[in-house]
Every structure is written in structure tokens, then in C-alpha cells.
Amino acid sequence: MSKEKKEEVLEEVSTGTDEALENENPGGGSSAEQESTDDSDEKVSLERHIEALNAEVADLKDQLLRKQADFENFRKRVIRDKEDSIKYANTNLLLDLVQIIDDFERAIKSSEESKDFAAFHAGIEMIEKQFVGTLERNWGLKRFESKGEEFDPEKHEAIAMAESDEHDVQTVLDDFQKGYMLHDRVLRHAKVRVSMPKAAGNSDHSGEAAEDTTKETH
């Protein structure tokens, strides 16, 4: 075989080999390069996902801090409102009392000018009735009378006692200090003097003594 013929055969073999390789990898790139590209895309996707999660966490933290701040402000406001309610709870009562003080001042000034004791006394009585009426009407504070009533330890405090044959049960004879009810509850007990019925034995002995005295006289 001539030299020229050998060169032609070698060239055909080389060309066939290149075509075969090109058919196996049409894009011209290797499988390693393709895998590297896929890994790079996946890494970018993961990084973006992590960034989104970090942003979401930061937003949630900000919301939590805002909620905590709102709650703290609410708690302080509730405490302040409670303190104000306690501090100014008696505002309306004090307004009523101020009006009574005004009446006293007018009565005192009038008495200084007129020097009329009877008029001053009548004015004080009127103010006292007005005062008691205001407390009962606006605040449920009612003064109760005890004289002549049966003694009730729930309402009365006995500071003196006296035997009596006029009552069958313990009865209030004198009301030294008035008692007061606040709505349906005793606010202050009345201080009273109470009659004690004489024991039946004491009455019998007194009768026997009187009978003996009569016999001796005869």
C-alpha cells in the first residue's frame, strides 16, 4: 500500500471517531460540567430561600417587640386609671359635703351679724336635716332610731342597763349615740341604755315580804 493510501485510511478513521464522539455528546460539553451547573442553581435557590426565611424571622421579631411595648403601655395605663379611681373615688361625696360647709358658713356669718341665737339654732337644725337627707338620698346612709325598740345586738351596743317592771323584754330606754345603716348593713351600732325585766323570783320575794309585814301589823 502506498504512502498516500495509508494517509487517506488514517484520516477516515480519525473523522469517524470524532463523529462518534460528537453523537454521544451533542452539546459539546461533558456530563461533569452539566452536574456542576445544576449544583450551582440549587445553591442559589437555597440561598434565596434562607434570605426569605431570615427576613420573615426579622419581621416576626419586630411584631413581637411592638406587641410587648403595647402591652406594657396598656398595663401602665390600667394601673394609672386604678390609682386615679381610688384617689378620686369620693369626689361626688365631697361635693355634697362642700355644699353643707357653705350652709354652715352662711349660718355662722348670719349669726355674727344678727346675734339672734334662736335664728342661729333654727338654721343649724335645718342644715343638720339637710345633711342627713343628702347622705341618705345620695349615698344610702340612713340614721335609725332606737328608743322604745327591743334590744338587738346586731344594731345596738348596750353601755348601761336598768331593771324595769314595765317591759317583758330587753328594751332600749335611751339612745346615747345614733346608729347608722349603709344600705342594708349596719355601719355603726347605736349606743343605748337598756331595760332589764325583773326576775320572777325577785317579784315573789317582794310579795311575800309585803304579806309578812301586813300580818305583823295586825
CB 156 within 8 A of CB 172: yes
Q: Please list the pLDDT of the chain residue by residue as tens digits (218 residues).
A: 555 655 665 565 455 555 554 555 555 455 666 677 777 878 888 988 999 999 999 999 999 999 999 999 999 999 999 999 999 999 999 999 999 999 999 998 888 888 888 888 999 999 999 999 999 999 999 999 999 999 999 999 999 999 988 889 999 999 999 999 999 999 999 999 999 987 654 544 444 443 444 444 44
Q: Is residue 37 part of a domain?
A: no
Q: Is residue 158 part of a domain?
A: yes
On whether both 214 and 180 belong to a single domain, the answer is yes
Q: Is residue 46 part of a domain?
A: no
Q: What residues make up the domain containing 123?
A: 96-139
Q: Is residue 124 part of a domain?
A: yes
Nearest to 103 by CA among 134, 66, 63, 142: 134
On whether both 188 and 122 belong to a single domain, the answer is no
Q: Is the CA virtual torsion 163, 166, 167, 173 positive or negative?
A: negative
On whether both 104 and 123 belong to a single domain, the answer is yes
Distance, C-alpha 32 to centroid of its chain: 75
DSSP per-residue string spanning 31-67: HHHHHHHHHHHHHHHHHHHHHHHHHHHHHHHHHHHHH
On whether both 131 and 157 belong to a single domain, the answer is no
On whether both 152 and 101 belong to a single domain, the answer is no
> Distances in Å between the alpha carbon of 114 and those of 103, 120, 121?
16, 9, 13
CATH number for the domain spanning 154: value is 2.30.22.10
Cell output for 182:
349603709
CB 171 within 8 A of CB 148: yes
What single DSSP character describes residue 199?
P
Q: Is the CA virtual torsion 12, 15, 20, 21 positive or negative?
A: positive
Q: Is residue 81 part of a domain?
A: no
On whether both 147 and 218 belong to a single domain, the answer is yes
On whether both 134 and 150 belong to a single domain, the answer is no
Give 32's contacts (C-beta < 8 A, 6+ positions apart).
none
Q: What is the pLDDT of residue 165?
A: 86
